[in-house]
Amino acid sequence: MPSQFDHERLNVYQVALDFLVAAEDVVVCFPEGRAYLAEQLRRAATSIVLNIAEGAGEFSKRDKARFYRMALRSATECAAVLDVSKRLHFGQEKQVLAGREMLLRIVAMLVPLVRKMSASGAGSGLGSGTAKRAGKSLT
């Protein structure tokens, strides 16, 4: 009998759990009146973890890809909240940067998973440079 769930063996799941903790370190620095952003980051960070787990538990590659894409979208949503936090100067710079690094790792791991699970690769919405561009400005 297995001692682990499939998702627990995925490195991306473990990094997503680490990011969930890091996100909590960021939101405690948010000023009063910004609880909506704190909750948005908490929900999106939790969504990354839960969607990876759901994807790993699916049998169909198409369904796996769908959950991994949702996790990917939640990761980019978290990155946007961290950008807002940084721009408005209400997060600790060190925690924001650490969270961003984790998100870049998560995205870099999810993109190949989505591609692998996508039946034909077409229509996945993931251009050939998505993983490479994850950490670079797209100006």
User: Domain locations in the chain?
Assistant: 6-118
pLDDT at 64 over 60: yes
Q: Token match 């034909």: residue?
A: 120
Binned at pLDDT 50, 70 and 90, residue 90 comes out as confident
Binned at pLDDT 50, 70 and 90, residue 126 comes out as low
Q: So what's the pLDDT on residue 120?
A: 52
What pLDDT digit, counting tens, does each position of 17-53 carry? 999 999 999 999 999 999 999 999 999 999 999 999 9
Query: SS3 of 33, please?
Result: coil
Q: So what's the pLDDT on residue 1?
A: 81
83: Cβ–Cβ under 8 A, 6 or more apart, which residues? none
**Measured between alpha carbons, how far is 17 from 12 in angstroms, rounded to an integer?**
9
pLDDT at 134 over 70: no
Q: So what's the pLDDT on residue 94?
A: 92
Q: What is the CATH number of domain 6-118?
A: 1.20.1440.60
51: Cβ–Cβ under 8 A, 6 or more apart, which residues? 67, 68, 70, 71, 74
Provide the mean pLDDT of the chain: 88
13: which 2 tokens?
């799941």
pLDDT at 100 over 60: yes
CB 114 within 8 A of CB 72: yes
Percentage with pLDDT > 90 across the chain: 79
